[in-house]
Amino acid sequence: MALKARIAIVPLTLFGMILFGGCNPEENSEIPAEELEEVALQIISDGTFQYSEKGVVKNVLMAGRLERWDSDGESSEVWRVSEGFTLFIEGDKHKSEAVLKGGRGIYDANKGHLIAYDDVELVNNENERLRTEYLVWSNDSDRVHTNRPVSIITKSGTLHGKGLEADSKFENYRIIDPTGEFDLQ
């Protein structure tokens, strides 16, 4: 009889362990949002995006890394670009009105804005160069602007300033608090 009693106790013990101890309440609870790691929805290496209107290429964005992120509540799609990027404005890499380069940036697809950071350079068709560390390109308003220090290098000289407003092709611009030497022709 002792043998039968031991055999009956083992299955009952296993059944009790599965029933009462098999699922720990902590395993089924949700992880607090602050403990979750942020992860991009999509990552593209060495990617190129073409933006067109009615079949005509308007702008081309090339970047070492593009990451698509979930909406921040204000926009539909946010792309973080890094590892260097080039934006060809009003054209493609073979022919464009201006070229914007930087180390990294954030593109808001809904607003049509690219915020460029790190060694930013905008070059127009006259080979005039704008250099700064921060620049906002607004596709919808055809404008670029910054409130950070700028240098503009032209055939006539170099100007510096505390900021800038310009059209996106960098043909017409206004330097905020300009300094430097410049030859007027």
Kindly state the percentage of the chain with pLDDT values over 90: 35
Amino acid letter, residue 24? N
Complete domains list, the chain, with CATH: 42-182 (2.60.450.10)
Cα 80 from Cα 102, distance rounded (Å): 12
Per-residue pLDDT tens over the stretch 70-102: 765 655 678 889 899 999 988 888 999 999 999
- pTM for this structure? 0.73
Say if residue 133's pLDDT is above 90.
yes
Q: For 90-184, list the strands marked E by DSSP.
A: 98-102, 104-108, 113-124, 129-138, 143-146, 150-154, 157-161, 163-167, 173-176, 179-182
| Mean pLDDT, the chain, integer | 80
Tell me the pLDDT band of 51, cut-offs 50, 70 and 90.
confident
Say if residue 13's pLDDT is above 90.
no
Per-residue pLDDT tens over the stretch 137-159: 988 888 999 999 999 999 888 99
